[in-house]
Amino acid sequence: MPTPGFPPDTLDSEGTPVWITDVAWEDPNHTLHVVRGLDPAAALEALGAPPQEIRPCVLPSPSAKPDAFTSLPATALGADSQSVVLMAGSAGAWTFVYDDGGETWDGAKALSRGGRTAATSVFTINADASLAYAVDGTELVMVNVDDLELPSDLASMPEELRAAFQAAGVAEQDYLEPGNADYSICMRAVCALADLPRTFEDLRGVRLLAAAIPTTPLG
């Protein structure tokens, strides 16, 4: 089985966890964080969300997205196009934060300060895919999927991260040579690391918080 940590019907055709596909906008530029030992509201604040902007988030059906450029969390909050939405919830000892615009792509170190462990998976609209793993404010591992060599790179990873990549496996794609990593492997690894929900219905069973933050102007 190429993706042992993901049962049937929990991945889309690209190998991305289906709940991520359901909440994302089309051709997403997004980020997923996990952190151990920090509650959702504190994680949102660590990533730059003003406390007064944090509120409960009840996700509607994925069909409620008004267009191809609006995520489900943004739909739930009624956020405008000048904002990105951070959505957070708990999964056991871990907290996850989904960033629908990739604004917080470098957040692993900030989340991990104070002796915590955090990981961040980034996927851009140009299919740049990466994962950062940090402990106590220090980045210990940076994975760029274009440079990832399986299984040799796994041998040097911390044990829990190595196990997460092994659970993520490789989603076979037409563009891949056998054994090469696909571009969704980091999203699966982060989900496996923190044992996140595997389906959208599972996600809807989690108490969620969200906040809209301004985008950073280009240039």
List pLDDT tens digits, range 116-154.
Answer: 999 999 999 998 999 999 999 999 999 999 999 998 999
Residue 55 covered by a domain:
yes
Alpha-carbon gap, residue 97 to 158, rounded angstroms: 22
Residue 125 falls within a domain, yes or no? yes
Rg, C-alpha atoms of the chain: 16
> pLDDT band at residue 219, thresholds of 50, 70 and 90?
very low
Q: How do beta strands 117-123 and 30-36 pair?
A: antiparallel
Q: Note whether residue 34 is domain-resident.
A: yes
* Domain assignment of residue 3, yes or no: no
Q: What is the mean pLDDT of residues 166-184?
A: 90
Residue 82 domain-assigned (yes or no): yes
| Global confidence as pTM | 0.96
Residue 98 three-state SS:
strand
Tally of structural domains, the chain: 1
Question: 173 by DSSP, 3-state: which?
Answer: coil
Over the stretch 70-93, which tens digit does the pLDDT of each residue have?
A: 999 999 999 988 899 999 999 999
C-alpha distance from residue 140 to each of 79, 87, 108, 151, 163 (Å): 35, 25, 10, 18, 16
Is the pLDDT higher at 172 or at 199?
A: 199
What residue numbers bound the domain in which 44 lies? 18-214
pLDDT at residue 75, rounded to an integer: 97
Say yes or no to pLDDT of 31 above 90: yes
